[in-house]
Structure 1
Amino acid sequence: MPFPRVRTLAAALLLAVVASPALATTTHTPREQVPGVYHQTIGTLQVTALFDGTVALGRQQLVGIAPGAVTRLLDHRYVPEDGKGLQTAVNAYLVQQGDHLTLVDTGTAQCFGPGLGQVLGNLRRAGYDPAEVDDVVLTHAHPDHLCGLLDAQDTMAYPNATVWLSAADAAFWLDPASEATAPQGVRFAFALARKAVAPYEASGKLKRFAPGDTLPAGITALDSHGHTVGHVSYRLDGGAGQQLLVWGDLVHYHAVQFAQPQASFEADSDRVVAIASRRRMMTQAADQGWWVAGAHLPFPGLGHVRREGEAFAWVPGEFAPLPAK
């Protein structure tokens, strides 16, 4: 009989498993996923992706592309879809550079109901104190990106942070006059934006800027407007050729918009400009080999962009253990 010791060992292990009451009878039904935290080292940057939750976006909200083409692109992509729409993640990113902590976007907090608003809790689970955050840089002033400036008590979630919002978005979303002339469907967002930034502005911690201005920790703000009038993306330098591009709402439907960048989200304020920004950012990321972090890419939303002819594809980052200290 070949390999008797191996067979004897296997039989003994099998017998032990069958004979063990705990292993034979215990059932375990998980009730929730593990905390939404993922760490990625990019050069000198320690990037922590923070999951806020998911929202459902209807495929009918994609414009500039035929419904049949959308169906073909979604086929065998396995994006979860229910009666409300396609599952879409909401992510924020904490970047540590030495002792400096920068949070890019803040999630939804209490603005969008249950199932969302997890950024602050996940930041704590990742081992960070919100009071340690030095700067919060916002890609734009929509509720799923800035409502998380406040905690459950509507006080400053990041009491020691300076908040950075583009001057163009601040001028629009914080102005009641803009609200009066805005489309009815987005008017709710104006009051939420004003409420979220109010305590920071009152304490002198809200700063307005334009793309090209000097931001803390060497962050470069790139003009990527179109989704909103002042939408920006951020490039962070990890040294040794390692660059991270954090974009906000350049992509909402990853299974469609990489392959068909001309497909727009109906909430884009200027769809023509939004398409141009998406193409420009994807081109730069692909050609330069940048890391990308996306607010509405499947969590953790970290990876790369590659060219596919005149279009693009999303390349999720490989899971990697943290380097030993």
Structure 2
Amino acid sequence: MNHRVLLTGCWGRPRRAAGLALNLSLFILCSILAFTALGGYALAAAPKVGTQAPGFYRMALGSFEITALSDGTHAFPVHKVLTKTSTTNGQSIPLDQSSPGEADALLAESNLAVPVAGSINAFLINTGSKLILVDSGAGSLYGDCCGHLIDNLRAAGYAPDQVDEIYLTHLHADHVGGVAPNGKMAFPNAVVRVSQVDADYWLKDVNEAAAPELLKSMFEGDKASLKPYVDAGRFKPFSYGDELSPGIRPIASRGHTPGHSFFEVESNGAKLLLWGDVVHVGAVQFPDPAVTVAYDSDAEMAESERLAIFADAAQKGYWIGAAHISFPGLGHVKAKDGHFFWIPANYNADPAPAN
């Protein structure tokens, strides 16, 4: 078929004698011929991609550079894990029993519903002389949902062998698993550090035997993840007091685990507190800080720590880096009319010195 001749006829001057219906038919025919002549290209819908952009977010803190890294998200088991201390016997019981409907109502206020995607965040600190990772995600311990930290570290412009030290807020699977996915050392030049208290608890078989069933897998995950570093002489637990590196100081904050730690990061007057697992479900625990989780080793103490740090952070206005607040987990705690709430960091495409 001579498409050029047909198209020339189509786009030539219309005949005045032709009626409206004829001209409309001619237009449709010409459109079909044009499509054929152009090789069959159509404005068809593109296939869905189904993935997010690389999970990193950068901000300045004085002379330090902070990079939040996502290890992924998982369906957080709200109704299975959220708890509250009973006013009658002081025992920690499921929130659905102590306050039926509270979790769903508070989630609804934030336009959320079960299942809630729980973020697993870690934080990379470039001090100028050291590259320090705080927490490492779940690695292979949570399945396919997670274990994206290394890819996001690379996307952020770093390589695993550049990391000098890894500080762990505690030894739950979603914080330690990333140091050795599938038991293989991921950071060959790094020293791994956690509080001596947490190391003493989670690495002893006698504690595993006495632990609640919910926590038993944590012990095995800890041992497998830390073994390559222990064998290489690169596991060095710390005691509280001195800075671990200039500008970075550990603070005891037990309750969630026996040796749970905060890391206070300061540079040129700017301050960031990496608080680990103070919050698991922000939409529930900011309006009701008394809500605890079944993973807490001492729920009453964890609740007390949460209230204290909420109040301190709201009063003093420093930055917070949170492991389980929606990525990137950077922001501030505020208080109004006796209630606490979270203000996420305002997105900045050109990271500037933090206030």
- The Cα shift of 1:244 comes to 0.6
Structure 2: which amino acid aligns with 1:37?
F
Aligned 1:108-147 pairs, distance under 5 A:
108-147=138-177
In the alignment, does 2:296 pair up with 1:268? Answer: yes
User: 2:259 is paired with a residue of what secondary structure?
Assistant: coil
| CA distance in structure 1 between the aligned counterparts of 2:63 and 2:278, rounded to whole angstroms | 26
| Contact 2:59/2:351 (<8 A) preserved | no
C-alpha distance after superposition, 1:299-322 (max 9, x if no partner): 011110001333310000000122
Gapped regions of structure 2 (runs ≥ 5): 1-34, 85-94
Alignment partners' CA distance in 2, 1:288 and 1:173: 34
Report the CA distance shift for 1:23/1:51 in structure 2 as closer, same or farther (over 3 A).
Answer: farther
Matched residue, 2:101: 68
Letter in 1 for 2:304: A
Residue 134 of structure 1 and its aligned partner are, at CA, apart by 0.9
- Percent pairwise identity: 37
Distance 1:165 1:195 in 2: 15
Selected match of 1:78 from 98, 101, 111: 111
Give secondary structure in 2 for the equivalent of 1:300: coil
1:56 and 2:72 matched: no
Given residue 262 of structure 2, which amino acid in structure 1 is its aligned partner?
Answer: S
Cα offset for 1:284?
A: 1.9
Q: 1:203 aligns with which of 226, 229, 232?
A: 232
Q: Does 2:305 match 1:242?
A: no
Superposed displacement of residue 169, structure 1: 0.5
Tell me which residue corresponds to 2:330.
Answer: 302
For 2:249 and 2:68, locate their aligned partners in 1 and report how far apart those are by CA, in whole Å. Answer: 19
Measured against aligned partners, the alpha-carbon deviations of 1:80-119 in whole angstroms (never above 9, x if no partner) come to 533xxx2211111111111311100001111111111111
1:264 CA displacement: 0.6
Instruction: Please show how residues 1-325 of structure 1 align to structure 2 within 5 Å.
Output: 24-25=43-44, 27-60=46-79, 61-64=81-84, 66-79=99-112, 81-82=114-115, 86-152=116-182, 154-239=183-268, 241-323=269-351
Note closer, same or farther for the CA distance 1:226–1:22 as it changes in structure 2 (3 Å cut): farther
Q: Does the CA-based 8 Å contact 2:57-2:68 persist in structure 1?
A: yes
Deviation at 1:198, TM superposition (A): 1.3
Give the TM-score of the pair, scaled to structure 1.
0.87
- What amino acid maps onto 1:145 in structure 2? H
Give 1 or 2 for the bigger CA radius of gyration: 2
Alpha-carbon shift at residue 155 of structure 1 (Å)? 2.3
CA contact (8 A) 1:80 1:87 kept: no
C-alpha separation in 2, matches of 1:258 and 1:105:
23
Read off the aligned partner of 1:90 and give its amino acid letter: I
Q: Secondary structure at the match of 2:153?
A: helix
* Paired residue secondary structure (2:101): helix
Match of 1:216, SS? coil
SS at 1:227 equivalent: coil
Q: Identify the range of structure 1 (37-46 vs 19-28) with the bigger mean alpha-carbon deviation.
A: 19-28
Contact 1:261 1:311 in 2 (8 A): no
Matched position secondary structure for 2:119 = strand
Unaligned regions of 5+ residues in structure 1, if any? Answer: 1-18
Aligned counterparts of 2:41 and 2:272: Cα–Cα separation in 1: 47
Q: Tell whether the 8 Å contact from 1:41 to 1:322 is kept in structure 2 after alignment.
A: no
TM (normalized to structure 2)? 0.80
Distance, in Å, in 1 between the alignment partners of 2:216 and 2:329 is 29
Q: Distance in 2 between matches of 1:175 and 1:73?
A: 39
Give 1:5's aligned residue. Answer: none
How many correspondences in the alignment? 302
Question: What are the superposed Cα offsets for residues 141-199 of structure 1, whole Å, 9 maximum, x if unpaired?
Answer: 011100111145x3211111111111111000001111111112211111110111112
Deviates more, 1:68-77 or 1:35-44: 68-77
Moved over 6 A (4+): 19-23
Q: Distance in 1 between matches of 2:106 and 2:42?
A: 44
Residue aligned with 1:192, SS: helix
